[in-house]
């Protein structure tokens, strides 16, 4: 670039001094043909552009070198300053604390000097403490400076609302900070709504049982039947917040348990009674029974009804009551099934005929008949007292009469 500048200066100087100065040059230029003038102009313009490009490139190279030198100096100064600034000694540990317990968050800072330390709640941008002073009005929070380098934030009786990010900050320029997460876990709790209460339904209708629970983590819900009875075909439990039964029948009646758990003890459960209403029904094994005079005889009916039924025996449109000759009894098998028995002591001729077992509830009434006939006695030598006779058959008849 310097050689080109010198050459340009020499040519310009020669042009001025040649032929007696500037006037001679102008005279020669005037006498040159127009095409030659244009070529001369382009030639000197090109040389001028090359010179300008060289100058700009040299300026850029110098500026870049100077900038890199300044950056290196600034980085060195920054490193020197950074060595004197506070530093965090270790990360803030994330915590998982059950609700109601105490949470302890620790911020370790080395070389604090005269800088100040603050604890903040990140999500609400709330200043909790500065140095050893508690700024927040939350009386459950305390701050302690331990061993000259640890700033310990304590939260008593932790609530679910305390869950979130917490920041430890030092007022350097720019600010230095680090954060830790407080996770609050909550045992499950079954909600009164929309959890089902005891239900009363008619047989044949559709039923849906619901169970809702709160907690953190979100609880899982299992349905079971009390007594480990099958809750559905081939299953003793069902993992779902809702449980549906289509065309419910009396076999579905009973207690169902909604159990909520989330790994945080204790698990909780709620008992829901499913009550199925249906009109009475009667089963009679022996509709025709023979007996001899003087024999002791027991008649039997089985009935099912819910709500609970009224059960009694009749003969010749007369209700049979407890006495010396007749002994009616009722045995409950479960909440809706009973066995009715009528014992006739020392049968006489008036005891032959038709007996009715009658069952009534608020949804209907039904009855069943048993006919007792006479069996002539044969000549035998009695070696033991007469025994109670129950004649069993394989015929099962169902009687039902609705009101």
Q: What is the pLDDT of residues 143-195, one digit of tens each?
A: 999 998 999 999 999 999 999 999 999 999 999 999 999 999 999 999 999 99
| Residue 68 forms part of a structural domain | no
Residue 230: C-alpha distances to residues 3, 82, 145, 252 (Å): 105, 71, 60, 10
Q: What share of the chain in percent tops pLDDT 90? A: 68
255 and 298 share one domain: no
Higher pLDDT, 277 or 81: 277
Nearest to 140 by CA among 156, 121, 164: 156
Last residue of a domain, one of 249, 278, 307: 278
Distance CA 199, CA 149 (A): 63
Contact of 289 with 373, CB cutoff 8 Å: yes
Contact of 206 with 276, CB cutoff 8 Å: no
215 and 255 share one domain: yes
209 and 266 share one domain: yes
299 and 364 share one domain: yes
| Residue 3 forms part of a structural domain | no
| Residue 59 forms part of a structural domain | no
Helix pair 22-31, 2-17: axis angle to 10 deg: 90
Nearest to 99 by CA among 155, 181, 179, 167: 155
106 and 167 share one domain: yes
Distance CA 43, CA 37 (A): 10
Last residue of a domain, one of 164, 185, 206: 185
214 and 130 share one domain: no
Higher pLDDT, 307 or 384: 307
* Domains: count for the chain: 3
348 and 306 share one domain: yes
| Residue 15 forms part of a structural domain | no
Q: Which domain holds residue 257?
A: 191-278
pLDDT bracket for residue 84 (50, 70, 90)? confident
91 and 180 share one domain: yes
| Residue 79 forms part of a structural domain | no
CB atoms within 10 A of CB 158: 20
pLDDT bracket for residue 387 (50, 70, 90)? very low
160 and 239 share one domain: no
| Cα 2 from chain centre | 81
Query: What is the per-residue pLDDT for 397?
Result: 36
Answer yes or no: is pLDDT of 45 > 70: no
Query: What is the per-residue pLDDT for 15?
Result: 43
| Residue 398 forms part of a structural domain | no
Q: What is the pLDDT of residues 295-313, one digit of tens each?
A: 999 999 999 999 999 999 9
Distance CA 290, CA 300 (A): 14
At 45 the three-state DSSP class reads: helix
Higher pLDDT, 326 or 54: 326
Distance CA 247, CA 244 (A): 10
CATH of the domain at 307: 2.60.40.10
Query: What is the per-residue pLDDT for 284?
Result: 96
Residues in the chain: 403
pLDDT bracket for residue 43 (50, 70, 90)? low
Query: What is the per-residue pLDDT for 3?
Result: 46
| 258-284 mean pLDDT | 96
Query: What is the per-residue pLDDT for 22?
Result: 43
Residue 17: C-alpha distances to residues 10, 41, 290 (Å): 11, 19, 164
pTM of the predicted model as reported, rounded to 2 decimal places? 0.63
147 and 202 share one domain: no
Q: What is the pLDDT of residues 213-224, one digit of tens each?
A: 999 999 999 999
| Residue 57 forms part of a structural domain | no
Averaged pLDDT of the chain: 83
Last residue of a domain, one of 136, 152, 185: 185
The DSSP secondary-structure symbol of 42 reads: H
Most confident of 3-7, 127-131, 248-252: 127-131
Helix (H) or strand (E) holding 75: helix 34-82
Nearest to 119 by CA among 160, 56, 78, 179: 179
155 and 176 share one domain: yes
3-state secondary structure 369-390: EEEEEECCCCCCCCCCCCCCEC
Distance CA 25, CA 39 (A): 16
Cis peptide bond N-terminal to 174, omega within 30: yes
| Residue 170 forms part of a structural domain | yes
Which stretches of 217-351 are DSSP H helices? none
Least confident segment among 189-198, 224-233, 239-248 = 224-233
**Pairing of β 207-210 and β 237-239:** unpaired
């Amino acid at each position: 670039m310097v050689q080109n500048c010198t050459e340009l200066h020499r040519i310009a100087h020669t042009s001025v001094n040649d032929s007696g100065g500037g006037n001679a040059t102008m005279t020669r230029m005037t006498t040159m043909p127009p095409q030659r003038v244009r070529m001369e102009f382009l030639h000197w313009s090109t040389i001028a552009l090359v010179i300008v490009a060289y100058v700009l490139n040299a300026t850029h190279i110098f500026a870049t070198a100077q900038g890199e030198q300044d950056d290196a100096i600034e980085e060195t100064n920054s490193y020197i300053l950074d060595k004197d600034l506070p530093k965090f000694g270790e990360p803030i540990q994330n915590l998982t604390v059950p609700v109601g317990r105490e949470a302890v968050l620790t911020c370790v800072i080395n070389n604090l000097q005269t800088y100040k330390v603050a604890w903040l709640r990140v999500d609400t941008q709330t200043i909790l403490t500065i140095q050893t002073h508690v700024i927040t009005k939350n009386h459950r929070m305390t701050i302690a400076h331990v061993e000259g380098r640890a700033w310990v934030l304590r939260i008593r009786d932790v609530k679910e609302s305390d869950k979130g990010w917490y920041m430890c900050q030092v007022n350097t320029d720019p600010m230095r900070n680090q954060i830790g997460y407080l996770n609050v876990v909550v045992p499950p709790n079954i909600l009164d709504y929309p959890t089902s209460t005891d239900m009363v339904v008619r047989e044949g209708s559709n039923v849906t049982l619901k169970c809702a629970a709160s907690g953190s983590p979100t609880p899982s819900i299992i349905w079971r039947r009390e007594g480990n009875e099958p809750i559905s075909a081939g299953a003793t439990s069902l993992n779902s917040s809702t449980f549906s039964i289509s065309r419910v029948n009396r076999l579905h009646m009973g207690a169902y348990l909604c159990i909520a758990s989330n790994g945080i003890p204790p698990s909780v459960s709620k008992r829901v009674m499913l009550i199925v209403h249906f009109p009475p029904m009667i089963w009679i094994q022996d509709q025709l029974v023979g007996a001899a005079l003087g024999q002791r005889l027991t008649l039997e009916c089985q009935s099912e009804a819910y709500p609970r039924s009224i059960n009694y025996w009749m003969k010749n449109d007369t209700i049979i009551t407890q006495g010396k000759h007749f002994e009616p009894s009722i045995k409950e098998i479960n909440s809706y099934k009973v066995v009715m028995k009528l014992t006739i002591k020392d049968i006489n001729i008036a005891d032959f005929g038709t007996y009715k077992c009658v069952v009534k509830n608020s949804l209907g009434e039904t009855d069943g008949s048993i006919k007792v006939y006479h069996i002539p006695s044969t000549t035998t030598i009695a070696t033991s007292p007469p025994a109670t006779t129950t004649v069993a058959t394989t015929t099962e008849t169902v009687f039902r009469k609705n009101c």
